[in-house]
Amino acid sequence: MQLSDIRPDQEIVREGDRPSRCFALLEGFACTSKVTDEGKRQIVAFHVPGDMPDVQSLHLDVLDFTIGTLTPCTIGFIQHEVLRDLCARFPRITGALWRDTLISGAIFREWVMNVGQRQAYGRMAHLLCEWIVRMRAAGLAEEHACELPITQSELADATGITTVHVNRTLMELRRDRLIELKGSKLRALDWEGLKQAAGFDPTYLHFRNPAAAAA
Amino acid sequence: MQLSDIRPDQEIVREGDRPSRCFALLEGFACTSKVTDEGKRQIVAFHVPGDMPDVQSLHLDVLDFTIGTLTPCTIGFIQHEVLRDLCARFPRITGALWRDTLISGAIFREWVMNVGQRQAYGRMAHLLCEWIVRMRAAGLAEEHACELPITQSELADATGITTVHVNRTLMELRRDRLIELKGSKLRALDWEGLKQAAGFDPTYLHFRNPAAAAA
DNA sequence: CGTTTGGTTGAAATGTGTCAAACTTTGTGG
DNA sequence: CCACAAAGTTTGACACATTTCAACCAAACG
């Protein structure tokens, strides 16, 4: 596995690439995004340490998305041949990776619903719920507080609302005492309230450990 | 494979189910949807004959979506054990199914972008472009015309806009001579124009046959 | 032939976008 | 360690896309 350190706001792989390797995000945060013909960016996924965001390149030759860093990241590249060999020899690995891509798919579906059916307030709340739960699953949150290394402009690209309106929405969530935001530190002041505002049900994350889903 | 005929507007599998089998859509049209806590429905995918919409149940035990018929359908159920056995004995099948789920994932991402970044007009145009191209790939379209067995209310649930506004948007697409709609018959009068209005680029569908993507 | 389902249209209400400016924090080089 | 620049956040006023509500129309169907 070839290690590499990458600065913030750098692209790791680009739409149109035909990679000959996958990578694992070992440290730092990244996101997958797509751009419309008119140049508007949609972030379709956030990535936390432990994720392998481009496993699909194993089976689909041309990338339909771009993955970029949000913070300084260290990533490990694995050649496709190596991974394919591992899969062939240990079917459990195939299963685990496949399962992983299926969960990503489930999250995309939830995002379609989030962006399609909820208005700004609930949409933002939902994004924050998912973030907190995933951060906790990655061991990067204490109770309902964690880092949120995402600018409001990036939150806008992820939720499909304007930067300005993201700000207003976050203010509203704070006014309602659902969250607290200090610098890049996020805390859910009222986790139950936040979940409710979001209509958040973590089933779609398909956690194996039910405890993680419960909280 | 156990065959079954299903009437329109019936649910085939439901959110929360723990299926012991997958199914293939042999005839007819169906869609995958999710519902918010407030009861708003988001259609996250349409299915055409040949699709296997719930392969994920092979690896994730509880379903996070509902699949329902749009028209009369005939479907074939395949027990998980059978499918798992096939995968174990013929790794190409594993690869093909995995690949298939990855393409579904790619389509979900495109939908996130469509719903998040485009306004009604382009969003609708994009949905129609995808439909026509997929119908053609399924051998169910002649040039740029095909069935569209989807009500405006379903189009609304798929695009995240109101039924009323779907109607206005379709009228506008007709007024601009991009499409023609007669009953459930859709025709792209100006395919290039429609693609442009949609910002449609079929790369994300990952067709193997470049010809399909080209047109 | 009445009933249901789906499509069409208008007017008013509203959530979000746009534009523009000020403010605050963060990071960096002197 | 300060000063400054750059990046990110906050706020206000106004514009606009879409929703909402309500009614009517057309086609499909038993």
What CATH number does the domain containing A8 carry? 2.60.120.10
* Number of domains composing chain A: 2
Candidates A38, A41, A159; nearest CB to B199: A38
Considering the domain architecture, whether residues A95 and A123 belong to the same structural domain is answered as no
Considering the domain architecture, whether residues B35 and B68 belong to the same structural domain is answered as yes
Query: What is the residue-level pLDDT of chain A in tens, covering all 215 positions?
Result: 999 999 999 999 999 999 999 999 999 999 999 999 999 999 999 999 999 999 999 999 999 999 999 999 999 999 999 999 999 999 999 999 999 999 999 999 999 999 999 999 999 999 999 999 999 999 999 989 999 999 999 999 999 999 999 999 999 999 999 999 998 999 999 999 999 999 999 999 999 876 666 66
Considering the domain architecture, whether residues A93 and A150 belong to the same structural domain is answered as no
Considering the domain architecture, whether residues A12 and A102 belong to the same structural domain is answered as yes
Taking contacts as CB-CB distances below 8 angstroms, the residues of chain B near A95 are 59
Of B108, B51, B93, the residue nearest A94 (C-alpha): B93
- The stretch B190-215 carries a mean pLDDT of 89
Estimate in Å the CA A163 to C1' C20 gap, whole number: 14
Q: How many residues does chain B have?
A: 215
What CATH number does the domain containing A171 carry? 1.10.10.10
Listed residues B65, B89, B110: the one ending a domain? B110
Considering the domain architecture, whether residues A21 and A64 belong to the same structural domain is answered as yes
Listed residues A110, A138, A156: the one ending a domain? A110
Domain that holds residue B73: 2-110
Taking contacts as CB-CB distances below 8 angstroms, the residues of chain A near B44 are 109, 112-113
Look up the pTM and report it: 0.97
Considering the domain architecture, whether residues B87 and B164 belong to the same structural domain is answered as no
Candidates B40, B104, B113; nearest CB to A34: B113
Listed residues A75, A110, A145: the one ending a domain? A110
Considering the domain architecture, whether residues A85 and A21 belong to the same structural domain is answered as yes
Pairing of strands B30-35, B179-182: unpaired
Is the Cβ–Cβ distance between B148 and B185 less than 8 Å?
Answer: yes
Nucleotides of C under 7 A from a protein CB: 5-11, 15-20, 25-26
* Buried b / exposed e along A52-83 (16+ C-beta atoms within 10 A): bbbbbbbbbeebbbbbbbbbebebbbbeeeeb
